[in-house]
Every structure is written in structure tokens, then in C-alpha cells.
Amino acid sequence: MAPADRPPPPDVPGSPPDRSGFFRSRAFRASLLLAGGLVFIAWVYFRDPAEPGNMPSCPFNLVTGLYCPGCGSARALHQLLHGRLLEGFALNPLMVLSIPFVAYGLASYFLKSFTGRGLPVIPSPWWTGWAVLGIVVAYWILRNVPFFPFTLLAP
């Protein structure tokens, strides 16, 4: 029997059990993601990202002076968490419109990680990913056009 084919040695009595499998598990990664997401949401709820110093500035905006597709997302999330849908939509409409899709995907990921069964997969054509990419790129370009009505897309 080759060394790689041998079963692992049994635990030595008195030694702690091997838990390395748990730290590599999907449930552990999902727990970290969930905890990090909840901390971020609590931080955005209690600290207004519109106030200077509460949130780092967008690196793309700092370097180019242009808005990226994510610019205004934290401020929009802050408004949404406080029940101000229109103010949040005005800051980043693409992010607000994407929330139901992201929430469904995350809910399915967490359910599958913890219970083994996710939500039903919604069938979509092969080009859906390309269409989403096109929408994001078009939004990125149009929110930087300095003419009405495109100025409404700027945060």
C-alpha cells in the first residue's frame, strides 16, 4: 500500500479531535459571510456614509473623477435601511433594482450551505450574464454623461 493510500491514523487518546474539516466546510464559509454582511449592514445603518470620514471614498472616483457603477451604493443602502426608498433609488438605481436578485441568490446559498438544499434555480437563457454585464457597463457610461437626463443617474 502506497503512503498516499493509507487511511489517516486514529486520534491519539487525549488529543483534541481534528476539526480542520469544519473550517473548510461550506457552512463555515457561509457563516463568515453572513456575520460579515450583518456587521456591514449594522455599520451602514448606524453610521451615515454621506458624512465625511464614515466610509472610504471610491478609488475609481478619486483617480478619474468619474462615477463607477457602485458609487453611491453605501449611501443608498443607508437610505433604504431607514425606509427612504426614493432617496436610495436616487443615489444608485441599479443597486436598488438588483437587491431582490442578490437577496434570492444569497438566501439560496445560505440555505444550501446550512441545510443542503437551496432555493429553486430560476432558468435563464445562456446570454443572461452577458446582458447583465452590458447593463452594468451602459449604466457606468451613462451616469458619467454630463447632460440631462443622464445626470439623474449620478449619485
The conformational region for residue 148 under phi > 0 = left, psi -120 to 50 = alpha, else beta, is beta
Predicted local distance difference test score (pLDDT) of residue 69: 92
Predicted local distance difference test score (pLDDT) of residue 102: 93
Predicted local distance difference test score (pLDDT) of residue 143: 93
- Quote the cell numbers at residue 57: 471614498
Predicted local distance difference test score (pLDDT) of residue 84: 93
Domain definitions of the chain by residue range: 25-153
Predicted local distance difference test score (pLDDT) of residue 28: 85
* Closest by Cα among 102, 80, 101, 76 to 90: 76
Predicted local distance difference test score (pLDDT) of residue 48: 87
Cα–Cα distance list, 17 to 14, 24, 29, 119 (Å): 9, 15, 20, 34
Neighbour tally for 146: CB within 10 Å = 7
Q: How far apart are CA 116 and CA 60, in angstroms?
A: 39
Predicted local distance difference test score (pLDDT) of residue 81: 95
Segments of the chain scoring below 70 in pLDDT: 1-23
